[in-house]
Structure 1
Amino acid sequence: MKTWNVEDVMTKAVVSVRQDASYRSVVDLLVSHRFSAVPVVDDFQRVTGVVSEADLLRKIEYAGNEEPRLFEGRRRRGERGKALAGIAADLMSSPPVVVLADTPIVAAARLMDTEEVKRLPVIDDLGRLIGIVSRGDLLKVHLRPDDEILQDIEGGVLRAFFADESKTVTVEVAEGVVTLSGRVDRRTTADLAVRLTRQVAGVVEVAGKLDYDLDDTTHVVPGSITY
């Protein structure tokens, strides 16, 4: 069963800025491309940070208010510093939240949620920028055709893990919703088939019912599992 990684959905034609890029040039870039953030790279294309709209807005937020407050916290001091910054190296948030190309899309989605970011620069083993992945890119997996999802379930799940039951289970896919029907030997087999099917890229929901001959979780026979 194929595991979809970041490299399967990322955008490879990525726009970046150098560390010495001016404030105005970064603003122009974000506005012209309708980006909300852009990665910052060094001379070796290694990602050193990310400049976002929020970073750039500090100059407006603190305009005319350059004097620090008494007992000002670290975060506000950092924001005030960005308000006075003129180049990307001083504007950017660092260290950047990045992801490797072979990271599973599930892990990438969790990282975005944890770090509260909308996109992640994609790097190679040397830290060099090779792409960008956004929330929208991760959703591309749910645009897979139903016939491709069907092939993955039949070949990557049933024939790969349940060779004996592959001929007794029927699979139907409609707009990403999978229906499994038929009969297997054990309840644990039915449970595992459902769990593995849910992991196939593009599956929105698993619906239906699988009958089983032996409930090996309670030693009761026979039965069925509805999901």
Structure 2
Amino acid sequence: MRALMVRDVMTPIVVTVAPDLGYKQIADLLVDMGVSAVPVVDGDGRVLGVVSEADLLYKVEFNGADVHAGLFERRRSRRAKQKAVGETAAELMTSPAVTVAAAVPLTVAAQLMERHDAKRLPVVDDAGKLVGIVARRDLLRRYLRNDEDIRADVLEGVLLGVLWLDPIEVDVAVADGHVTLTGKVDRRSTAQIAARLTRGLDGVVGVTEDLEWGFDDTTLQHRYTFDV
């Protein structure tokens, strides 16, 4: 029932560029390799930044116009004009790069991408050295598991492994990643926990919890909390 980590889905072989690589060489590389961005690394393999198609397009956008940055100009606009006259990866890249460790869950990578509006993240080790790259499409791999494997995780990982329930008491049906739990458990909280743990499994896109229970301990818990 181990959650997928970044290292499980990342691409370990990464196209990179040196800080002194020129604009045209970077543009040619992106086209030839069919990628939209590349990490910029130093001689020791540490990530300095990322240069993307968007960074290169500033030169096209301004196309010889006056790119002198005004004193009170917004930071984003000033940075765009600086990149418009950039000629090397060091001058064009977005830095510092948003990176992620290999040994973190995919949810962490997804949150970083959402927060920074990033399509991909360089994966680094403890020394900041590049070990791979993870893209948005890689995160979708957690939902590519077949229904049989998901059902086995629910039965063995959730019901037996965590809740110590006899699988005979709970029926687990999985269709296209959606899990339906039916049967009877001892307490209402047990049913809620089973549903919550199932939702966290890789490959699960939704859960229908239709379990019967013999004792509603959630009301009791609420009363004790209120009295304290």
Partner of 1:96: 97
The CA deviation string for residues 154-191 of structure 1, in whole angstroms up to 9 with x for no partner, is 11111111113433111121211111111100101000
Structure 2 distance, partners of 1:214, 1:24, is: 70
Aligned counterpart, 2:134: 133
Equivalences, count: 219
Superposition RMSD on alpha carbons, in Å?
Answer: 1.4
Q: TM-score, normalised by structure 2?
A: 0.91
2:9 is matched with which residue?
9
CA drift at 1:69: 5.3
Q: Which runs of 5+ in 1 are unaligned?
A: 220-227
Alpha-carbon distance, 1:21 to partner = 1.2
Greater Cα shift, 51-60 or 68-77? 68-77
CA distance in 2 between partners of 1:69 and 1:94 (Å): 19
The Cα of 1:76 is off from its aligned counterpart by: 1.9
Once the two structures are superposed, the pairs formed by residues 178-197 of structure 1 within 5 Å of their partners are: 178-197=179-198
Q: Secondary structure at the match of 1:218?
A: helix
* TM-score, normalization by structure 1: 0.92
Structure with the largest fraction of helix: 2
CA apart distance, 1:206: 0.9
Alignment partner, residue 64 of structure 1: 64
Q: In structure 1, give the amino acid aligned to 2:216.
A: D
Q: Which moved more, 1:88-97 or 1:174-183?
A: 174-183
1:105 positional shift: 0.4
Tell whether the 8 Å contact from 2:69 to 2:78 is kept in structure 1 after alignment: no
Counterpart Cα distance in 2 of 1:114 and 1:171: 35
Aligned partners of 1:175 and 1:120: how far apart in 2?
29
Question: Closer, same or farther in 2 for the Cα pair 1:98/1:114, shift >3 Å?
Answer: same
- Mapping 1:70-219, distance limit 5 Å: 70=70, 71-218=72-219
Contact 1:55/1:91 (<8 A) preserved: yes
**Residues 23, 87 of structure 1: 8 Å contact kept:** yes
Provide, for residues 108-127 of structure 1, a one-character-per-residue CA deviation record: whole Å limited to 9, x for no partner.
Answer: 11110010011111111111
Query: For the residues of structure 2 that align with 1:183 and 1:194, how far apart are their CA atoms?
Result: 13
Equivalent residue number for residue 224 of structure 2? none
The residue matched to 2:121 in structure 1 has which SS?
strand
Which residue of structure 1 aligns with residue 51 of structure 2? 51
Structure 2 unaligned segments of length 5 or more: list them.
221-228
- Are 1:34 and 2:34 an aligned pair? yes
TM-aligned CA distance change 1:199 to 1:67, over 3 Å: closer
Q: By how many angstroms is 1:208 displaced? A: 4.5
